[in-house]
Amino acid sequence: MARIAVIGGGASGLVAAIEAARKGVETVVFEAADRIGRKILATGNGRCNISNADIMSDDYNRPEFVQAAMNALPPEEVQRFFSDAGLLSLEEDEGRVYPYSNKAATVVDVLRLCLDEAGVEQRCGAPVRSVAPCRRDGVEGWTVRFEDGSEQDFDAVIVSVGGAPAKGLVPDDIKYIPTHPVLAGLKTDTANIKGLSGIRVRARLYLDTDPADLSDAWMDVVDPDFESDYAGPEASGEVLFRDYGISGIAAFDMSRHVRPGQMVFIDLLPDLDPQQKVDFIWEQTIAHPNRTACQIMSGMLPSRVARAVVCAAGIDPDEPIVAEQEAVVLAMVSESFGLTVKGISDPKQAQVMRGGYAVKGFDPSTMQCKKHPGLFVTGESLDIDGRCGGYNLHWAWTSGMIAGRAAARCVRS
């Protein structure tokens, strides 16, 4: 009987095993840890943001590859997989999909039931050292070598080991892109944010390769017909000030784009255009001439954030605003509150590793290696990462399901 080995008992590996076994192929999952699905339990702060109702390929770093995969397996099929498996889910803000139970353990429990029902064999505490092509009885296959020195032969192998696969795990001619952590807080200079730790704001983050270009955003105060040509990466959502810099969903998303030494800019009033910001500040100044600059800005922002903005603008926070130009400067700083990025806050806390096996070596409609038939790679092991909000788990499910089905077809043909 044909046999498939799945290396890794995480999100993509488990659905790959389920799909392969449902096609009537003997399937074995090898997991290095003492239990499967451990990383799933930690996702979404223990809630497991399984997907998003508005998945788009542009939300990933390799959009063409992801789009081709989603052409093979549309997002609604992933949702149907879990619904058919017996998982009740709920859509929340910004399209985030969670299990109705609000517990990641529910997702793992349902997957375990599906594994058992499909007859998948699970071997935990079985770290794999390498997989290599072999030939037995005149048939091409794959040898799985374990850390204890033992070996087993299979007709196909699905590698689903997550980020930063071990060196030598697959044949050396498969291109590997070095990994680095993304989707984490940003360590920044803290001179302008001292005393703000723990404060949350809803904001827009953006980058600019040339900080001088920030003046473009303010040309429309003088010239309403001027249009800024800024088209760099942006991220919107919660920003949490920390002792080391910034965290929150928007900061996590921006960590996919920013490099150490660049500046990330915070638009603290993202729902107002530049002229509206200026007008509101100046109108309040006229209406309340005895209020200090900090008091005027505190009607728009948390008081400590307001003081930080006024100080960053070079204006005395405890004196009244005396000229409209000061209102312009305050509005500008509220939109371009800049922090120099030093790096990721804590690599160990990053949600995803960018890098892995280069996608150009794989067929997105099957996840099969172009150079090595019978070898499939899924999930974070490929150089694919998406933004926060269920996108990375959705990629894990998508690539795993595709690979499981394709591997079953491969060994049965």
Q: Could you read off the pLDDT of 128-137 as tens digits, one per residue?
A: 999 999 988 8
Are residue 80 and residue 120 in the same domain, yes or no?
A: yes
- Judged on CB neighbours under 10 Å (0-12, 13-18, 19+), 307 is buried
Answer for the pair 305, 312: CB distance below 8 angstroms, yes or no.
no
CA–CA dist 79, 87 (Å, integer): 10
Q: Where are the beta strands (DSSP E) in 199-346?
A: 200-207, 234-241, 245-247, 263-267, 337-344
Query: Cα separations (Å) of 170 from 132, 140, 310, 355?
Result: 7, 16, 56, 15
For residues 25 and 43, the model is more confident at 25
Per-residue pLDDT at 358 exceeds 70: yes
Are residue 334 and residue 361 in the same domain, yes or no?
A: no
Answer for the pair 312, 192: CB distance below 8 angstroms, yes or no.
yes
Are residue 72 and residue 127 in the same domain, yes or no?
A: yes
Domain end position, chosen among 322, 344, 366: 344
User: For the chain, what is the mean pLDDT?
Assistant: 93
Q: How many domains does the chain have?
A: 2
- Residue 290: both structure tokens together: 């005895």
226-263 b/e (C-beta count within 10 Å ≥ 16 → b): eeeeeeeebbbbebbbbebbbbbbbbbbbbbbbeeeeb
Q: Name the CA radius of gyration of the chain, rounded.
A: 25
276-287 b/e (C-beta count within 10 Å ≥ 16 → b): ebbbbbbebbee
Q: Coil, helix or strand for 326?
A: helix
Are residue 9 and residue 158 in the same domain, yes or no?
A: yes
What residues contact 212, with CB distance under 8 A and at least 6 apart? Answer: none
Domain end position, chosen among 344, 371, 399: 344
Are residue 46 and residue 153 in the same domain, yes or no?
A: yes
CATH number of 370's domain: 3.50.50.60
Are residue 262 and residue 122 in the same domain, yes or no?
A: no
Are residue 194 and residue 290 in the same domain, yes or no?
A: yes
Model confidence at 227, pLDDT cuts 50, 70, 90, reads low
- Judged on CB neighbours under 10 Å (0-12, 13-18, 19+), 142 is buried
Are residue 219 and residue 142 in the same domain, yes or no?
A: no
Are residue 87 and residue 171 in the same domain, yes or no?
A: yes
What is the value of pTM for the model shown?
Answer: 0.91
The letter for the amino acid at 162 is: G
Span 163-216, pLDDT tens digits: 988 889 999 999 999 999 999 999 999 999 999 999 999 999 998 755 554 444
How far apart, in Å, do the first and last CA atoms of the chain sit?
A: 12
CA–CA dist 171, 371 (Å, integer): 10
- Judged on CB neighbours under 10 Å (0-12, 13-18, 19+), 123 is middle
Largest CA distance in the chain: 91
CA–CA dist 398, 362 (Å, integer): 15
- Residue 11: both structure tokens together: 């999100």
Range of the domain at 230: 186-344
Are residue 240 and residue 144 in the same domain, yes or no?
A: no
- Residue 378: both structure tokens together: 């899924």
Model confidence at 1, pLDDT cuts 50, 70, 90, reads confident
- Residue 197: both structure tokens together: 């730790």
The two beta strands, 3-7 and 26-31, are parallel
Domain end position, chosen among 310, 344, 378: 344
Span 74-107, pLDDT tens digits: 999 999 999 999 999 999 988 999 999 999 999 9
Query: Quick one: pLDDT at residue 219?
Result: 45
Are residue 291 and residue 388 in the same domain, yes or no?
A: no
Are residue 173 and residue 190 in the same domain, yes or no?
A: no
